Amino acid sequence: MRDFTKFGRILVPMITPFRKTDQSVDYTAARKVAKYLKENKLCDSIIVAGTTGEFYALNFNERIKLFEEVKDEIKNEVPLIAGTGSIYVGEVIKYTKIAEKLGYDAIMVVTPYYCKPEQEGIYLHFKKIAQNTSLPVMVYNIPLFTGVNINPETLAKLSEIENIFAIKDEAGVNPLQATEYIRATKGKIPVYSGDDTMVLQLISQGGVGVVSGGSHIIGQEMRTMIDLFINGEVHKAKELFQKLYEVFVSFRGLKNRINPTPIIKAAFELMTGIPTSTPRMPLISACDEEIELIKTTLKKFGKL
């Protein structure tokens, strides 16, 4: 298995704060979010401009500015992974080269979305990106959002490329895909869960950790749960998961949101006082009922 220890087991896709007045990026608040994650040891690595960071709603200059501000705040104290994904491979490479120049430690690249490419197209997309950077590349599979799955055979081909170091898998309908990935790659590629609720199931299949939006709130509890499981205290890990499940359910909101980002952002603002609760359209803010649900959950877990 490729060495994942530099990046650890808990990777947080950092939320991107927007101002309530005009939905412009609040870079000052972004620095505060990054600092809070670091100082409270809520993660092993920070992903900038991931899905929870609403990368799809940022223009080119905003994403680069976000890379710059977070790097300037964090320096080399926590590994930083730049979310450089886009539909067009040339744009991914532009983002990637800038991230590399800024001193980022790795990149995360989502499968091209909307266009639903064939498996060979997916392979060539990631191959070209990997060939144009010396940075480690995390492949990001989220078929619910992209409309296409990375098949195990495709990941097996990608595993032959030296700087493709891991995959974040949010398989959705196929909870056993982690096993299929590990078998197909002969264990070369570390697999991270892209779903907070599936982390124990994935680790039991041979996965290594989680890319966790929820760890903005419960990163310390997530770490405890993973450590308990890895150290063989499976029953204690299961008991903690049962408690945390209430938090995960609250992230879905009263509207059964597919994208939990607005709920996570509202919870983080309530917990820290950092102005983060506004998402950028077309996402909408948590409603009053959802805010009350979040408050109740945070109080129950001692976060308020």
Coil, helix or strand at residue 101: helix
The token pair that represents 198 in the structure block: 């599936």
The token pair that represents 151 in the structure block: 């098949």
Yes or no: say if 290 and 255 are a contact pair by the CB < 8 Å rule.
yes
Q: Is there a catalytic annotation at residue 168?
A: yes
Q: Where are the alpha helices (DSSP H) in the chain?
A: 27-39, 60-74, 89-102, 119-131, 143-146, 152-158, 177-184, 199-204, 215-230, 234-252, 261-272, 288-300
Yes or no: say if 135 and 106 are a contact pair by the CB < 8 Å rule.
yes
Catalytic residue, chosen from 95, 104, 140, 181, is 140
Parallel, antiparallel or unpaired: strands 45-48 and 10-13: parallel
Catalytic residue, chosen from 71, 168, 265, 303, is 168
Residues 6+ apart with CB under 8 A from 93: 128, 129, 132, 133
Q: Is there a catalytic annotation at residue 36?
A: no
**Crossing angle for the helix pair 27-39 and 60-74, to the nearest 10 degrees:** 40
Residue whose entry in the numeric block shows the structure tokens 């909101």: 253
The closest of 205, 173, 214 to 51, measured between CA atoms, is 214
DSSP 169-191: E--SS-TTHHHHHHHHTTT-S-E
CA distance 15 to 276: 8
Residues noted as catalytic: 140, 168
